[in-house]
């Protein structure tokens, strides 16, 4: 079964590569939750996610933790 993220990525076709470059350890709970919500568990792990306004908001809120590249 497709999730909303999968469906959004298929319909728009736009994706971004997100890499965790700073440890969420010692950060506030919201920043740690953002990293986990994006599927990032370890340092230097990269995930490809749909380029939606919701994801962009998550990345903007914790931008010091991530490196974002167009995929």
**Full-model pTM:** 0.79
- The listed CATH number (3.40.47.10, 3.30.1390.20, 3.40.640.10, 1.10.3720.10) that belongs to domain 4-70: 3.30.1390.20
Give me the residue spans of the domains in the chain: 4-70
12-15: long-range contacts at Cβ-Cβ below 8 A with a sequence spacing of 24 or more? 12/50, 12/51, 12/52, 14/50, 14/51, 15/48, 15/49, 15/50, 15/51, 15/71
Task: Give the C-alpha separation, 2 to 62, whole Å.
Answer: 27
pLDDT tens, residue order, the chain (71 aa): 566 666 555 556 899 999 999 999 999 999 999 999 999 999 999 999 999 999 999 999 999 999 999 98
43 Cβ contact partners less than 8 Å away, ≥ 6 residues apart: 20, 21, 22, 23
How far CA 43 is from CA of 20, 31, 47, in Å, comes to 5, 14, 12
């Amino acid at each position: 079964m497709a999730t909303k993220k999968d469906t959004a990525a298929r319909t728009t076709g736009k994706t971004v590569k997100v890499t965790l470059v700073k440890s969420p350890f010692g950060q506030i709970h919201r920043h740690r939750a953002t990293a986990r919500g994006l599927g990032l568990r370890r340092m230097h792990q990269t995930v490809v996610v749909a380029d939606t306004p919701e994801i962009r908001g998550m990345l903007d809120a914790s931008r010091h933790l991530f490196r974002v590249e167009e995929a």
